[in-house]
Amino acid sequence: MTSLPLISVDPDARGRKPAMPPRHLADLDLPGRRALVTELGEPAFRAKQVSNHYFGRLVRDPERMTDLPAATRERLAGTLLPTLLTPVRELACDDGATRKALWRLHDGSLVESVLMGYPDRVTVCISSQAGCGMACPFCATGQAGLTRNLSTAEIVDQAVYLAGVAASGAVAGSPPRLSHVVFMGMGEPLANYARVVAAIRRLVAPAPEGLGLSQRHITVSTVGLVPAIRRLASEDLSVTLALSLHAPDDELRDELVPVNQRWKVSEVLEAAWDYAATTGRRVSIEYAMIKDVNDQPWRADLLGRLLAGKLAHVNLIPLNPTPGSRWDASPKPVEREFVRRLRDAGVSTTVRDTRGREIDGACGQLAAAEDTDSDSRAATA
């Protein structure tokens, strides 16, 4: 594992009461940015110039915005581009292809995001909340509880920052452009619905409105908030829905995914199939493989019956270790048998690459803790 340097931050930021950040240009559409600029007494076209720097050139330093008058650069950037994310720690593994960033927000809240480089793409996994209120017992984020929702700009800024990392050529062997975004970091995205949808629109709008990503390269994960899934289907977006199912039966899912006590497996899957029918997008079924908990052959058969003939793909996730967890990943022979039974049922199935496990950056490991073994490794490397 490679560790990047610790970055010093303002110690006075710690312990502040959770609060939303100042307004940022990514919170606004282009007309809203023009209105804000004119309130400052500047020509409306300055909004497009600053937006081009941020989204098009991935620049936020006023000194590099040389097409702006020197006398107004600081004021424009200070109003439109307030600092939202302060890097606390960055860790890397896989020869630098996987990078986890810990951010401190303006109120002292902590969030994490992960960049993953592949030969054909660069993907970032971003957070939509500081913490998570869904309380899934096998997930470090869920056990931490919810601090607050992130603003639209705090969500977008993670992707823009890491797009800059990719553009710098820091991810060897990968294209120098961010292409995929997955809302699989900290938080339940659909519990912060309005801001997440606004963030998606910024990510897919072409510069200077946004980052210019393909809608089909964006994935939104959910534990199954049925009304929000149905609302998302009406947004005229073609993003991929990833449903964190983790059990095919209500008895077990009530324990593993507590929101199942409100919306049962049948209701969640019905909403997912309606989403697929409306958008034409295949639903990704996320299933953490937990030893002797949800990996029995009969559960594979039940899952196969539920998904057979549906526009769905199963993504099996070997359970990643988290501090204090009483559960472990399924043995490989058990995992292979689970895959075989699903495929025999005609269900497309793959096993997720466990990238970032060494730096607690894999699925279910994000906890945004400062005093961890990872910190010790970073400080002593």
Residue of 42, 112, 154, 188 with catalytic role: 112
90 classed as catalytic: no
- 14 burial (CB, 10 Å; 0-12 / 13-18 / 19+) is exposed
- Catalytic position from the list 93, 132, 136, 363: 363
What lies within 8 Å, CB to CB, of 380 at 6+ separation is: none
- Angle at CA 94, nearest 5°, toward 109 and 354? 70
Picking from 144, 141, 134, 140, the residue whose alpha carbon sits closest to that of residue 325 is: 140
Token pair, residue 125, equals 């996994």
Single out the residue of 212, 115, 125 nearest to residue 162, CA to CA: 115
Written in H, E and C, the secondary structure of 217-248 is HEEEEECCCHHHHHHHHCCCCCCEEEEECCCC
102 by Cβ neighbours in 10 Å (0-12 / 13-18 / 19+) ranks as: buried
| Active-site annotation holds for 363 | yes
DSSP assigned state of 52: I
The amino acid that residue 377 corresponds to is: R
Q: How far apart are CA 343 and CA 304, in angstroms?
A: 8
Give dist(CA 318, CA 187) in Å, integer.
Answer: 20
Catalytic residues: 112, 363
